[in-house]
Amino acid sequence: MMEINAVIDGKEVAGGAGMTILEAAERVGIAIPTLCHLRGLLPAGGCRICVVEVEGSNRLAGACHTPVMNGMVVKTRSSKVVKARKTVVELMLAGHTGPCIGDHRIGQCELNRVASDIEAGPPRFQMRKARSYPVEDKSAYITRDLSRCILCGRCVKACAEIVGADVFSTGYRGYRSKIIVDCDAVLAKEVCKDCGVCAEYCPTSALTVPGVPVQRKRERTEVAAPCTPSAGKKHDKLLSLLKGTQKEFGSVPEQFIAETARSLGMTMSAVYGVASFYSFLSRKPQGRHVIRVCGNVPCYLKGLDMIVEGIKKELGIVPGETTPDGRFSLELTNCIGACDAAPATLIDDEVHGNLTAERIADVLKNYA
C-alpha cells in the first residue's frame, strides 16, 4: 500500500490510503472538535464543526470524511476555520431551545462542551420562531425532547448501524427539519426495550432512558459497513413510486407509505422522510389544481407577498389551505425554476411569470 504523507499544523504525518484528515490529526496529537461524528459510525460531515483549511482549496473541508492526499497541507486552527466553527456553534445554540441554564445535565451536553472548547460566545442570531415540542414520555424505554435536538443525526445512525432497527429518520426540510419516527409519530416502540443506544449517542439529552443517568456513547473501534448499491436502487425506486402516487391520487397517504415500506424492505420512517422532504409531494389530499408559489429570494424580492395576497383575495385561502369546493390548493415551495420571470407561480405543470396583482386574477379565472 502506498504511503501518504501530509502536513497538519506544521507536523508531518504518514498513513495509508483512505485515512481521513481527522484520523491523521489524531496520529500527531492534534485535536479537531467533532459533534455529528463519532468513532464507529460512518462519517457524514453534517454538522461542519470539524472543518479545516486545505492549502490550495477555496472551501473548508470536513475533517471527519475528507481523505488525506499525498502532499496535502492542512490548517486546523486558522482564523478562517475558527470563525466558521464559532458561527456554526452559534447557529446550533440559537436553535437549541432546551433550558440549559441551571440544567443538572449540562455537564453531559457535548454541544456545551464544544462551545466552551472553541470559546464560542452567545449566539448573534435570533430565531424568528423557537422550535418547541412537547416532551414524549409515552415510552417506558426512551424519553424524547425534540426541543433539545440539534439534528446531528447520531441517533439515526446509531440505531441503524449498531442496532439495525432503523427506528429514526430525518423528515421535512429547512427550518421544519426534525428527527421522525414512522410517519412523524410519538416514539413508543417495543424494539427500544433494553436498548438505549440512541440515548448514549445523543450529544444533548434530547434522548434519555427514564430513571437512568446519562451515559454518553459507547465508541466502537470497527466502522459500520458502507451502504450497499441496493440501498441506492431502493431510494430511486421509492422516489419514482412516490411521484407516481402523487400524480395519480393528488397525495401520498399514510397507508401507501406503510405498504411501500413493506414492499421495499424499508422502514416507515425512511419512506416518510423522503416523502416529507420534497415540497412537490403532499401527505394530505389536495385540490384539483395545485398553486405553488415560489418563495425563493428573487420571487420574494419582486412581490411574493403580493402574489399570496392576490390569491387570498380571489380564492379566500392562504398557503397550506384548500378551497371548500376542492378546486384549488395553495402551497409555498422553494423553487420552480422561473427566477428570470419572478415573481412567478406554478399551477399544476404550467408556469406563470412576471405576475402583477391584476394578472393573478386573470390567471386564476382560466382554471375556474
Same fold, 4-77 and 289-367: no
Cβ(40)–Cβ(220) under 8 Å?
yes
Kindly state the cell numbers that stand for 25. 490529526
How far apart are the C-alpha atoms of 174 and 168, rounded to whole Å? 18
Instruction: Classify burial at 83, counting beta carbons within 10 Å of its beta carbon; exposed 0-12, middle 13-18, buried 19 or more.
Output: exposed
Q: Tell me the CATH class for 289-367.
A: alpha beta
Q: Tell me the CATH class for 4-77.
A: alpha beta
Q: Give me the sheet containing 328-333, strands edge to edge.
A: 328-333, 289-294, 345-347, 350-352
Closest residue by Cα to residue 185 from 139, 242, 243, 129: 139
Q: Which residues of the chain have pLDDT under 70?
A: 1, 96-107, 127-130, 214-232
| DSSP-derived pairing of the beta strands 51-54 and 73-75 | antiparallel
Closest residue by Cα to residue 163 from 142, 184, 185, 194: 194
Mean pLDDT value across the chain: 87
Cβ(145)–Cβ(205) under 8 Å?
yes
What is residue 94's predicted lDDT score, i.e. its pLDDT? Answer: 80
Type and span of the H or E element at 10:
none
Domain ranges of the chain: 4-77, 229-277, 289-367
- DSSP notation for 127-194: -SS------B---SS-EE-GGG-----HHHHHIIIII----EEEES-GGG-EEEETTT-----GGGTT
How far apart are the C-alpha atoms of 25 and 269, rounded to whole Å? 36
Ranges assigned E (strand) in the chain: 4-8, 11-15, 51-54, 61-62, 73-75, 143-144, 168-171, 178-181, 207-208, 289-294, 328-333, 345-347, 350-352
What is residue 226's predicted lDDT score, i.e. its pLDDT? Answer: 45
Kindly state the cell numbers that stand for 338. 422561473
How far apart are the C-alpha atoms of 333 and 292, rounded to whole Å? 6
Peptide bond before residue 210 is cis, with ω within 30 degrees of 0: no
Contacts of residue 53, defined as CB under 8 A and 6 or more positions apart, other chains included, come to 60, 61, 74, 75, 76, 78, 80, 81
Q: Residues, the chain, total?
A: 368
What is residue 225's predicted lDDT score, i.e. its pLDDT? Answer: 47
Contacts of residue 61, defined as CB under 8 A and 6 or more positions apart, other chains included, come to 21, 51, 52, 53, 54
Instruction: Classify burial at 132, counting beta carbons within 10 Å of its beta carbon; exposed 0-12, middle 13-18, buried 19 or more.
Output: exposed
